Amino acid sequence: MKAEPARYVLDSYALLAFLQGEAGMARVKAVLNAAERDECQVVLSWINLGEVLYITEREQGLHRARAVLARVQVLPIKMLEVSSQMVLEAAHLKATHPISYADAFAAAAALSQQAVLLTGDAEFASLEPILRVEWLGKA
Protein backbone atom coordinates (compact mmCIF):
# COMPACT_ATOMS: atom_id res chain seq x y z
CA MET A 1 0.00 0.00 0.00
CA LYS A 2 1.31 3.43 -0.97
CA ALA A 3 1.89 5.94 1.83
CA GLU A 4 -0.14 9.12 1.85
CA PRO A 5 1.71 12.09 0.39
CA ALA A 6 3.18 14.64 2.75
CA ARG A 7 0.98 17.60 3.62
CA TYR A 8 2.04 21.20 4.03
CA VAL A 9 0.09 24.19 5.27
CA LEU A 10 1.12 27.63 4.10
CA ASP A 11 0.68 30.53 6.44
CA SER A 12 0.47 34.12 5.23
CA TYR A 13 4.22 34.58 5.62
CA ALA A 14 4.97 31.64 3.32
CA LEU A 15 2.46 32.67 0.67
CA LEU A 16 3.65 36.28 0.68
CA ALA A 17 7.28 35.12 0.46
CA PHE A 18 6.38 33.10 -2.62
CA LEU A 19 4.33 35.85 -4.25
CA GLN A 20 6.77 38.66 -3.52
CA GLY A 21 10.06 36.84 -4.12
CA GLU A 22 11.15 37.14 -0.50
CA ALA A 23 13.22 34.84 1.73
CA GLY A 24 11.74 31.36 1.62
CA MET A 25 10.32 31.72 -1.88
CA ALA A 26 12.45 28.91 -3.33
CA ARG A 27 11.27 26.39 -0.71
CA VAL A 28 7.60 27.31 -1.15
CA LYS A 29 8.03 27.05 -4.93
CA ALA A 30 9.63 23.62 -4.55
CA VAL A 31 6.73 22.40 -2.41
CA LEU A 32 4.19 23.79 -4.90
CA ASN A 33 6.05 22.08 -7.76
CA ALA A 34 5.93 18.80 -5.81
CA ALA A 35 2.18 19.30 -5.29
CA GLU A 36 1.78 19.81 -9.03
CA ARG A 37 3.36 16.36 -9.48
CA ASP A 38 1.03 14.89 -6.79
CA GLU A 39 4.02 14.22 -4.52
CA CYS A 40 2.50 16.22 -1.66
CA GLN A 41 -0.56 18.27 -0.75
CA VAL A 42 -0.52 21.98 -0.04
CA VAL A 43 -3.28 23.48 2.09
CA LEU A 44 -4.20 27.08 2.81
CA SER A 45 -6.92 28.32 5.14
CA TRP A 46 -9.33 30.86 3.72
CA ILE A 47 -8.50 33.04 6.74
CA ASN A 48 -4.83 33.15 5.74
CA LEU A 49 -5.69 33.89 2.11
CA GLY A 50 -7.83 36.76 3.40
CA GLU A 51 -4.87 38.05 5.37
CA VAL A 52 -2.64 37.95 2.28
CA LEU A 53 -5.27 39.78 0.27
CA TYR A 54 -5.87 42.55 2.81
CA ILE A 55 -2.12 43.08 3.23
CA THR A 56 -1.66 43.24 -0.54
CA GLU A 57 -4.58 45.63 -1.02
CA ARG A 58 -3.44 47.88 1.81
CA GLU A 59 0.12 48.06 0.50
CA GLN A 60 -0.35 47.80 -3.28
CA GLY A 61 -4.01 48.48 -4.06
CA LEU A 62 -7.14 46.54 -4.98
CA HIS A 63 -6.01 45.81 -8.53
CA ARG A 64 -2.89 44.03 -7.25
CA ALA A 65 -4.89 42.12 -4.61
CA ARG A 66 -7.22 40.84 -7.33
CA ALA A 67 -4.21 39.77 -9.40
CA VAL A 68 -2.83 37.90 -6.39
CA LEU A 69 -6.15 36.12 -5.90
CA ALA A 70 -6.18 35.06 -9.56
CA ARG A 71 -2.62 33.75 -9.25
CA VAL A 72 -3.38 31.79 -6.07
CA GLN A 73 -6.47 30.22 -7.63
CA VAL A 74 -4.37 28.44 -10.28
CA LEU A 75 -1.78 27.10 -7.83
CA PRO A 76 -2.00 23.47 -6.64
CA ILE A 77 -3.38 24.53 -3.27
CA LYS A 78 -6.36 22.99 -1.49
CA MET A 79 -8.37 25.77 0.12
CA LEU A 80 -9.47 24.75 3.59
CA GLU A 81 -12.96 25.82 4.61
CA VAL A 82 -13.25 27.26 8.09
CA SER A 83 -15.45 24.98 10.15
CA SER A 84 -16.83 25.63 13.60
CA GLN A 85 -14.31 23.09 14.93
CA MET A 86 -11.46 25.04 13.35
CA VAL A 87 -12.73 28.30 14.86
CA LEU A 88 -12.79 26.68 18.30
CA GLU A 89 -9.29 25.23 17.86
CA ALA A 90 -7.92 28.57 16.60
CA ALA A 91 -9.52 30.37 19.55
CA HIS A 92 -7.91 27.91 21.97
CA LEU A 93 -4.49 28.31 20.31
CA LYS A 94 -4.81 32.11 20.39
CA ALA A 95 -5.79 32.02 24.07
CA THR A 96 -2.87 29.81 25.07
CA HIS A 97 -0.04 31.07 22.82
CA PRO A 98 1.29 34.51 21.86
CA ILE A 99 0.17 34.37 18.21
CA SER A 100 -2.08 36.47 16.01
CA TYR A 101 -5.61 35.28 15.31
CA ALA A 102 -4.82 34.60 11.63
CA ASP A 103 -1.73 32.62 12.66
CA ALA A 104 -3.94 30.59 14.98
CA PHE A 105 -5.92 29.48 11.93
CA ALA A 106 -2.76 28.40 10.11
CA ALA A 107 -1.74 26.40 13.17
CA ALA A 108 -5.21 24.88 13.52
CA ALA A 109 -5.14 23.93 9.85
CA ALA A 110 -1.75 22.24 10.22
CA LEU A 111 -2.94 20.33 13.27
CA SER A 112 -6.21 19.22 11.67
CA GLN A 113 -4.46 18.16 8.46
CA GLN A 114 -1.55 16.49 10.30
CA ALA A 115 0.64 18.70 8.15
CA VAL A 116 3.90 20.57 8.35
CA LEU A 117 3.47 24.34 8.65
CA LEU A 118 5.74 26.31 6.31
CA THR A 119 6.55 29.69 7.82
CA GLY A 120 9.21 32.16 8.71
CA ASP A 121 7.05 33.88 11.32
CA ALA A 122 8.73 33.64 14.73
CA GLU A 123 5.32 33.74 16.47
CA PHE A 124 5.00 30.01 15.79
CA ALA A 125 8.02 29.12 17.95
CA SER A 126 5.83 28.70 21.02
CA LEU A 127 3.80 26.06 19.17
CA GLU A 128 6.73 23.81 18.25
CA PRO A 129 5.98 21.33 21.05
CA ILE A 130 2.62 20.53 19.43
CA LEU A 131 3.11 21.56 15.79
CA ARG A 132 5.50 20.42 13.05
CA VAL A 133 7.08 23.61 11.68
CA GLU A 134 9.46 23.96 8.76
CA TRP A 135 11.19 27.29 9.06
CA LEU A 136 11.72 29.14 5.82
CA GLY A 137 15.31 30.31 5.55
CA LYS A 138 16.49 33.82 5.26
CA ALA A 139 17.77 34.87 1.84
Whether 51 maps to a domain, the answer reads yes
C-alpha closest to that of 96 among 122, 46, 136, 130: 130
| pLDDT per position as a tens digit, 9-58 | 999 999 999 999 998 999 999 999 999 999 999 999 999 999 999 999 99
Whether 27 maps to a domain, the answer reads yes
Calculate Rg over the CA atoms of the chain.
14
User: In the predicted model, is pLDDT for residue 139 greater than 50?
Assistant: no
Whether 95 maps to a domain, the answer reads yes
Mean pLDDT of the chain: 95
Instruction: Specify the pLDDT at position 2.
Output: 58
What is the rounded average pLDDT of the residues 105-119? 97
Whether 116 maps to a domain, the answer reads yes
| pLDDT per position as a tens digit, 126-135 | 999 999 999 9
Whether 107 maps to a domain, the answer reads yes
Instruction: Specify the pLDDT at position 138.
Output: 54
Query: Number of structural domains, the chain?
Result: 1
Whether 57 maps to a domain, the answer reads yes
Instruction: Judge if pTM exceeds 0.85.
Output: yes
CATH (domain of 13): 3.40.50.1010
Instruction: Specify the pLDDT at position 10.
Output: 98
Range of the domain at 70: 6-135
Whether 92 maps to a domain, the answer reads yes
Whether 61 maps to a domain, the answer reads yes
